[in-house]
Chain A
Amino acid sequence: MEFSVKKFDLLQELSLSQGVVERKTTIPILGNILCEAAGNQVTLTATDLELSIRTSCEAKVKKEGSGTIPAKKLLELVRLLPEGEIRFKLLENHWVQILADRKTYKMVGMSKDNFPAIPAFPHPLVTIPAKILSSLIAKTAFAISNEESRYTLNGALLLLKPDTITMVATDGHRLAMAEIDHKFAGLTREVRPLVPKKALTEIQRLASEAGEDGQIEFALDDSHLFFRVGERLLISRMLTGQFPNYEAVLPRDNNKHVVIERNELNDAVKRVAQLADQRSHAVKLSVTQEGVEISASSPEYGEAKETLEKEYKGEPLAIGFNADYMLDFLAAAAEGPISLELKDEQSAGQMRPLAEEAYRYRYIIMPMRI
């Protein structure tokens, strides 16, 4: 293997692989990146066995072949090199020589034969606008559970129907769901894979690189999900298991509505939460004819109370929520009015932004006992 690439091109592709390479892997080869030179390009592959990424960039290939190089060190080195051509050459014992101008480096590689095989991209199922997918992720991924024992909640449900695309995520205490109309040419059935959280982060990264009109080709086989943007391919293992029946927990009769501007609510909750109980982060919302009173108290630090004058005609109600859960949603919601929809102090509350009309976005939070 021998090739040369422009620093700028290589750095861009290497950076994309960094989210995938494991920092603390027990399998040494997973800390390496696979470089394959063929034709007029070099292809870079990184994997942690759950998630893999394959990208390529233009190269002058003198001798076709492949090798593996420690991913983190390679990125650091390439980042520090000046703009210009960088030459790579495979030496004996899997070492790789890197030459730039009159600078010479040799890095310890490992046999490419040890690098895990990456499945090939099957026939694409649908094409999704990168912007839509990225936006759905931003609106829901924060609600994914970090608790490893709740395996099926460690990802989001991607629900593709012939004319809608929906994403749902929950950790068992709150649920975020966003949906948008989109006609999929050629999709006749419903597809509902569970996408792991780490894959979602990487999809967002790919999507932001894809630009305003970027398109993501999506495909799946029995156990993998494929997301392709141009020459870049992200392959994720599918989460198996049954995602909870989320439709059963969507509130139907939350008839106590009050509308608050996102920024106003966000700022008030943030301030009041400073004096919330340090462990539970509970804030209390008291909704009356006078408006919404947001309060909290902590035995160590004191208490806080803010009143937002709002129109409300229903029965008065006081309900407790985890402030962090509210703020997660308020950070993801578009600026403008938010409708807060409650039933009683024991039942799930719902929040919906009224501004962003293209998306049907709802957030359901279970209250806290107060």
Chain B
Amino acid sequence: MPKLASFRTKHDSAVTESSSSASSTSSDSLTSSILHVDMDAFFVSVELLDRPELRGKPVVVGGQPDQRGVVSAASYEARKYGIQSAMPLRTAGRLCPHAVFLESRHHLYSEWSDRIAAILGKYSPVVEMASVDEAYLDLAGTERLHGPPFATAHALLREITAKTGLPCSAGLARTRLVAKVASDQAKPRGLLWVPAGSEEAFLAPLGVRRIPGIGKVTEAALHALGIETVGQLAAATREKLEQNFGQWGTALFRKARGGDTYEFFVDAEPKSISHNHTFPFDTDERIALDATLSLLCQKAMKRLRDAGLSASTITLTLRYAGFETITRAHTLREPTHLDPIVLEIVRQLFERHWDHTRKVRLLGVALSTFTHGGEQLDLLDAGHREKLERLAQATDRLRDRFGFSKVQFGGSLTRGKEEVESSKGKLP
């Protein structure tokens, strides 16, 4: 279980770090060694490699403005018009009608992501790809090889830009949280170093929303308490925050101070892996729905295996045309990382809970309750399981080499065609 091994190495260093911080009264003894690398407008930047003529223009990746769906990425030029990630494409189309709208090409992004990961791996053994376009590195202990962390970070960013042509930013700090906030502040094409001890001063003037984990809801609740900046949040007592937010209040109290090293390790392991698909047109086409479930399972399962995990809880999300959403979960007795087992459960959940008279807007598959390896083998079904295991390994290898979309199970293949046909049917 290679993932567990890396997880535990990190855990070990956390133990020593926290014990050393306990023994010394000053926090300056810890250096800023956590680097958060974030690609600038990643999907757009990748598309611009193929379409250099679009440079300097507002570009939106995610689909056409008359389509349902959301913005995956927007160029900095498009952001000036108020376009943001996760905004409905139609809204983006209204905000900036002359923007260039491009379809997402996810296989391409993950290929570039892998190349970036390979570069990062040269700078530190502890690299965590937090998503396709951002990563955390721990540069502690690399000084003798690469020099002080700030110089290393600088060299690293230069190498990424030189080798890929993709712009990126980074934040260097003592904790993950501050590093992430710093990279966000550094964008685009910047590097920001928050020296140990200056975290609170750095965070204080920022709006609370800048803190990862604080969304619309928490922001509104904090505003109601008269807290708008991180500095004000840091001034609030732990009791007050806990009274208003419970356990989340304890976390807020910590986050306002830049978090602690512990957070690095908790976040190192995902709590759930999910994939959703919004249909371009609401549908009750059996084949399209089945194929989409299959594809969502395959995507989620690939990521699960990449993380070296097995999952026991499988959750289906089903959103109807009227936006009414239901989620239904099933817990397996034994965790699994094999597609057919999960797909069968997902299909059963769908079969049991889909109201056939209603059209579906969105389907989602989520995996949770993870275990590291430790998978129980089957006595009665051992031969079959072994075949599935080899199949998963083979498809994963091919996907790693040629991209996810190049290898798919048959169940998801009718999808593209059906979608086109069903949407054609709806056109006047």
Contact = CB atoms under 8 A, between A and B. Distances in A.
Given A299-B4, A299-B7, A366-B382, A346 B377 contact: yes
B144 interface: no
A249 to B, nearest CB: 5
Interface string A281-300: 01000000000000000010
Contact of A173 (B8, B312, B334, B374): B334
B379 A174 contact: yes
Nearest to B265: A299
A368 B376 contact: yes
DSSP class of A's interface residues: helix, strand, loop or mixed? Answer: loop
A349 to B, nearest CB: 11
Interface residues of B, number: 22
A277 B379 CA distance: 22
Interface stretch (B97-105, B365-373, B411-419): B365-373
A13 B4 CA distance: 56
Contacts of B50: none
Contacts of A282: 374
A277 B371 contact: yes
A140 B309 CA distance: 32
B1 A370 contact: yes
Contact of A170 (B7, B377, B380): B380
B380 A367 contact: no
B149 interface: no
Contact of B371 (A172, A280, A346): A280
B396 to A, nearest CB: 16
A35 interface: no
Contact of B373 (A174, A175, A366, A369): A369
Contact of B375 (A175, A244, A249, A368): A368
Contacts of B369: 279
B374 A366 contact: no
Interface in B1-28: 1, 4, 7-8, 11
A348 B7 CA distance: 30
B8 A299 contact: yes
Contact of A364 (B1, B8, B379): B379
Contacts of B333: 147
Contact of A172 (B1, B11, B335, B378): B378
Interface string B370-411: 011111111111100000000000000000000000000000
A364 B379 CA distance: 9
Contacts of B379: 170, 172-175, 249, 348, 364-366
Nearest to B382: A366
Contact of A366 (B4, B372, B377): B377
A145 B372 CA distance: 24
A67 to B, nearest CB: 43
A246 to B, nearest CB: 8
Interface string B340-381: 000000000000000000000000000001011111111111
Interface in B136-163: none
A353 interface: no
Interface of B: 1, 4, 7-8, 11, 312, 333-335, 369, 371-382
Interface of A: 147, 170, 172-175, 244, 249, 277, 279-280, 282, 299, 320, 322, 346, 348, 364-370
13 contacts: A147-B333, A170-B380, A172-B378, A172-B380, A173-B334, A244-B380, A249-B380, A280-B335, A299-B11, A299-B372, A368-B374, A368-B375, A369-B374
The 4 closest A-B pairs by CB, nearest first: A280-B374, A282-B374, A366-B377, A366-B379
